Amino acid sequence: MTSQGSRMAAVDRSWLRMECTENPMMISAVLVFEQPIAMKKLRRVLNDRLLRFRRFRQRVEQRGERTEWRDDPLFDLDNHVHTIALPGNADKTDLQNLVSDLNSTPLNPDRPLWQLHYIDHYEGGCALMVRIHHCIADGISLVRVLLSLTDDSPEAKVRQLKATNLDAETRPPAIQPDGLIKRYTGRLLEVSQTSVDQVRLFKDSVMKDPSYPLRLATTAGKVAMECIKLGLTPEEPATPLKQALTGRKRVAWAEPLSLAEVKLCARALGGTANDVLMTAATGALHRHFRDIGEPIPDCGLRVAVPFNLRPIRQPIEELGNKFGLVLVSLPVDVDCPIMCFRQVQEHMNRLKQSYQAQVTYSLLDLFGRGPDILERRALKLLSSKASAVLTNVPGPKNDVYLGGARLKQPMFWVPQTGDIGIGMSIFSYAGTVQFGITIDKGIKADPVAVMAHFRESFSELRDKALHRQANDSPDQKAV
């Protein structure tokens, strides 16, 4: 095994350097199974399916200004897989408390940046708590990596999946005596060839479409406008949701919603399931302000939403971060669920036509190439414009199994950045919608209460949408 390292991508380096005491940059998951999983089977699955991605056997090393991935010469699966036994009558509260504690604990920087806890004696089955650093990959990629550990049936035999080209990509070539000269000469030729290719591509595009330069200029103008708008976006108002952070996390998750009911509500309102769920999250925050007796911001609140920039059906052949962030306004000041839905829908439709995700991705790439102080100042600027991070990730449509045990309930969280202390996550799985939240202890909000508000908010929206649909139906009008 060569000791030569491979350079970390600039965007991934940005997420690595965002690590701070208040916000560890970990993507975490809780996977609850109906039956216990034999540790021998679990270890074999990890060996055959997770460790085929070389990143999970590599640690991060800083060499001057260069950040590298290097194979851990002392890698041992036992350093990353731990067993915890909850009391025999452990319930959801006990598991949430354990997950809260683990989510508050950073990963060991001297080892590959991931860890798995096998939690025994939970509701007659078991649970897995997985933590992976954001610099390894984005949330959607890591969710798909974790789901690649599972099978479509309990009878499926553990088998090694076909290796991807990731190892070939990250394995650097051996350096010959004149390797440095060849390397830099190769880079110069590569840059020159890229320039030539870009010029040729531009000429071909103009030949095929004479309006191409104009459309290119229009796109560049829109991107520039998005940069200006992002910079001029005002900071979030001072509310109980924007407080000094402690670094201690509290997590909770709701009982699953029926995806069929969510889609039924969306059809009744002429929108998408995502619009419905974003509205339910808005209603949950509205109810939180009302319950604690705090004034509701009359300008609403903004959440940072990760926007995937890689094809959703593309096989996971390489890890890394391929997403941007968009700021979504949540009209928490609107009391009527239907009116709230219309405003959320309008905001989402507008963002789909914007270049905000591409702009933020480019900024992360730029910050990752510059000095640390530049990134921290930019991060402080961006995080001041949102009160929470909200993710919505699609999962498997049917049940999946790991080591013969059925996955009953999955939950995922992405980390928060800067002074953002709230993370909300939506995940669809096997005809259900899972909703979870993580809140810093410095923020006076009860995560369990917010979860209850989410269900209440959805139920109210669904009932009003179906009632309106019934009143607007031709049969009802005929009567």
8 Å CB contact between 72 and 3: no
Task: Confirm if 468 and 270 have CB atoms less than 8 A apart.
Answer: no
Could you read off the pLDDT of 211-264 as tens digits, one per residue?
434 443 444 444 444 444 545 465 777 888 888 899 999 999 988 999 999 999
CA angle 28/386/137 to nearest 5° reads 30
pLDDT at residue 391 in the model: 87
Do residues 111 and 59 lie in contact, with contact meaning Cβ atoms separated by under 8 Å? yes
CA 88 from centroid of its chain's CA atoms: 33
- Tell me the residue ranges of DSSP E strands in 162-276: 249-253, 257-258
Dihedral sign computed on CA atoms, order 257, 258, 264, 266: positive
Q: Do domains 6-170 and 229-396+418-478 have the same CATH topology?
A: yes
| In the chain, % of residues over pLDDT 70 | 71
Q: Which residue has the tokens 């939240």?
A: 437
Cβ neighbours of residue 373 under 8 Å, at least 6 residues apart?
A: none
Pick the closest to residue 255 from 454, 464, 466, 395 (CA basis). Answer: 454
**Distances in Å between the alpha carbon of 198 and those of 187, 281, 466?**
16, 44, 53
Q: Give Dmax over CA atoms of the chain in angstroms.
A: 90
Residues ≥6 apart with Cβ < 8 Å to 203:
none
The phi and psi torsions of 181 (rounded to 5 degrees) equal -60, -45
How would you classify residue 425: left for phi > 0, otherwise alpha for psi between -120 and 50, otherwise beta? beta
Topology at the third CATH level for domain 229-396+418-478: Chloramphenicol Acetyltransferase (3.30.559)
Residue 243 CA to residue 419 CA, distance in Å, equals 8
Helix, strand or coil for residue 219? helix
> Mean pLDDT per segment of 10 residues, for the chain of length 479 residues?
71 82 89 94 93 93 87 94 87 92 92 95 91 86 85 71 41 40 43 44 48 43 47 69 90 92 94 94 93 85 74 62 74 93 88 59 55 58 79 89 93 84 91 93 91 94 88 54
What CA–CA distances, in Å, run from 197 to 5, 160, 203, 213? 29, 39, 10, 17
At 13 the pLDDT is 85
Helices within 299-415 (DSSP H only): 337-352, 356-369, 372-383
Asked if 282 and 453 count as a contact pair (C-beta separation under 8 A), the reply is: no
Q: Where are the domains of the chain?
A: 6-170, 229-396+418-478
| Residue 183 confidence (pLDDT) | 41
pLDDT of residue 40: 92
Distance CA 386, CA 328 (A): 9
Query: Which architecture characterizes domain 6-170 according to CATH?
Result: 2-Layer Sandwich (3.30)
Distance of alpha carbon 139 from alpha carbon 145, whole angstroms:
10
